[in-house]
Amino acid sequence: MTLVHWAPEDLLARLDDVLTVYAEAMEYPADLVAARRGFVAAHTHYQGFRAVATLDNDDRLLGFSYGYLSSPGQWWHEQVRSGLSRGDARRWLSDCFELVELHVRPDAQGHGLGYTQLGALLEGATEATVLLSTPEAPQEDSRAWRLYRRTGFTDVLRHFHFPGDDRPFAVLGRALPLD
């Protein structure tokens, strides 16, 4: 297996593979995943975009992660800000790397790929904080939750609802750099 840093054009060249891994890891239906195509492509143009991928020896995508500088006016940033007090918003969002996606194919999970991707993505990050959102229970006992807790992510918002999604989400964060 090989971990690689991706430029925006690298992610775009493998967008079909990225969406396949996303669908498998999240167990999402094809129509929901197809709707994400435009969002993922647009994210590659955001300030501070960084991405990593894990490839097997045959160049098959096993996992990927990406994010960017969270900024006022961005949809996720504004949604999260609306759920925070003014002080918490200043603390968490004023200099924040937004961890948008971190996924590993189900058949490749349990081998430390998510941990390695997280570390590589945040290595050298100059932002003060990193935030992410993840579905609430029953996923709280998932590998993703265990990874986030093991790497020091704490609760920022719990049982938060994003428009257009009935599921509750947790917003987790931590100070940077990673230890």
Rounded Cα gap, residues 138 and 151, in angstroms: 20
Rounded Cα gap, residues 146 and 8, in angstroms: 29
Instruction: Tell me the CA distances in angstroms from 29 to 17, 65, 114, 133, 170, one per residue in order.
Output: 15, 20, 22, 20, 22
The catalytic residue positions are 148
Rounded Cα gap, residues 42 and 136, in angstroms: 26
* Contact yes or no for 117/104 (Cβ under 8 A): yes
User: Nearest 5 degrees, angle CA 66-CA 72-CA 77?
Assistant: 50
